[in-house]
């Protein structure tokens, strides 16, 4: 059974359509990355999924419950981690978890709190005030609160924003550990390395779903060609290539220049004269997920403007 199976979801605020006929399926135990620019409708879609918002159109099921008529049942079996840390900073880690345990009517409270502290490696810090925690430890507390009631679906809204690379790596290791136990995860992120750790990704832009599949499928289906230019004065090369036929993206990567386009023949033609530049080489490169997303953004129209 799919953990999420929704069709044609629409959500409007006034005359603005924030979610525009979004269809999504997520299998049980799957980790799906939800990507898109700021204001693209990711958070609104997630809030519909967890029963906090009612769609204006569309239908579907989350964890086998009807999205429209059984939102309370969905809420009880979903863990939702918001973008911002939203716990009481003048309470300790343990006190915050005790509060959450009582909200979910978990009994006995002390047993559930102790188990959760141990599972997330928080036991040694149980008496530390939440407001004194670093970003990584706040993130771990937020995750602990989300999984304390043993949800079947975890919805994470940009959970690692502002967290250092080591904490991000540990967070994702924990997510994969939870998924191996059968938990389904839908996570929105702007980090390409995080997207590549998901089983599948879905890209939404200004309310519309543009692509769904594995990273390899999304990159392949984008139909982009990438060339890597190496040599001196790449700033001059970039200026030279700007606006040429077939050149749709130019991006510096360390000591190289990545040139991307959707028409390979046009792109090759525009790069041909670079071979005559001293010490400059042009070779085929591998199109990245970031290249694809930049292309999606360039082709999309902001629905809020």
Each residue of 182-200: pLDDT tens digit? Answer: 999 999 988 888 999 999 9
Kindly state whether residues 212 and 259 are assigned to the same domain.
Answer: no
Q: ∠ CA(159), CA(88), CA(39), 5° rounding?
A: 35
pLDDT digits (tens, 9 = 90+) for 12-23: 999 999 999 999
Output the domain CATH number for residue 130. Answer: 3.40.50.300
Distance from C-alpha of 34 to C-alpha of 92, rounded to nearest angstrom? 32
Range of the domain at 145: 2-219
Kindly state whether residues 70 and 151 are assigned to the same domain.
Answer: yes
Average per-residue pLDDT in the chain?
A: 92
Asked if the structure places residue 252 within a domain, the reply is: yes
Asked if the structure places residue 296 within a domain, the reply is: no
Q: Lowest mean pLDDT: which of 18-27, 121-130, 156-165?
A: 156-165
* pLDDT of 305: 46
**Confidence class of residue 30 from pLDDT cuts 50, 70 and 90?**
very high
Output the domain CATH number for residue 252. Answer: 3.30.70.100
Distance from C-alpha of 90 to C-alpha of 61, rounded to nearest angstrom? 38
Sign (positive or negative) of CA dihedral 225, 229, 235, 240: negative
Kindly state whether residues 229 and 213 are assigned to the same domain.
Answer: no
Of 278 and 112, the structure prediction assigns the larger pLDDT to 112
* pLDDT of 302: 56
pLDDT digits (tens, 9 = 90+) for 83-100: 777 889 999 999 999 999
């Amino acid at each position: 059974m799919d953990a999420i199976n929704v069709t044609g979801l629409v959500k409007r605020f006034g005359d603005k359509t924030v979610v525009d006929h979004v269809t999504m399926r997520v299998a049980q135990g799957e980790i799906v990355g939800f990507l898109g620019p700021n204001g693209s409708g990711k958070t609104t879609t997630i809030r519909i999924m967890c029963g906090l918002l009612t769609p204006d159109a569309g239908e579907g099921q989350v964890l086998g419950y009807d999205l429209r008529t059984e939102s309370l049942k969905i809420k009880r079996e979903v863990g939702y981690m918001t973008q911002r840390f939203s716990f009481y900073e003048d309470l300790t880690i343990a006190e915050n978890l005790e509060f959450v345990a009582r909200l979910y009517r978990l009994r006995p409270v002390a047993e559930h709190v102790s188990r959760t502290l141990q599972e997330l490696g928080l036991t040694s810090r149980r008496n530390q005030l939440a407001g004194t925690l670093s970003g990584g430890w706040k993130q771990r507390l937020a995750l602990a609160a989300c999984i304390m009631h043993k949800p079947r679906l975890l919805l994470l809204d940009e959970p690692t924003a502002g967290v250092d690379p080591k904490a991000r790596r540990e967070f994702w290791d924990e997510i994969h550990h939870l998924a191996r136990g059968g938990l389904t995860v839908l996570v929105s992120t702007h980090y390409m390395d995080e997207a590549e750790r998901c089983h599948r990704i879905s890209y939404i832009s200004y309310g519309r779903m543009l692509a769904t599949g594995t990273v390899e499928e999304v990159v392949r289906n984008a139909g982009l060609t990438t060339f890597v230019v190496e040599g001196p004065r790449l700033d001059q090369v970039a200026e030279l290539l700007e606006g040429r036929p077939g050149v749709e993206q130019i991006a510096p990567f360390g000591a190289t220049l990545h040139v991307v386009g959707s028409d390979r023949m046009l792109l090759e033609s525009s790069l041909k004269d670079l071979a005559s530049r001293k010490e400059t080489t042009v070779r085929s490169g591998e199109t990245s997920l970031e290249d694809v997303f930049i292309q999606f953004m360039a082709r999309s129209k902001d629905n809020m403007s």
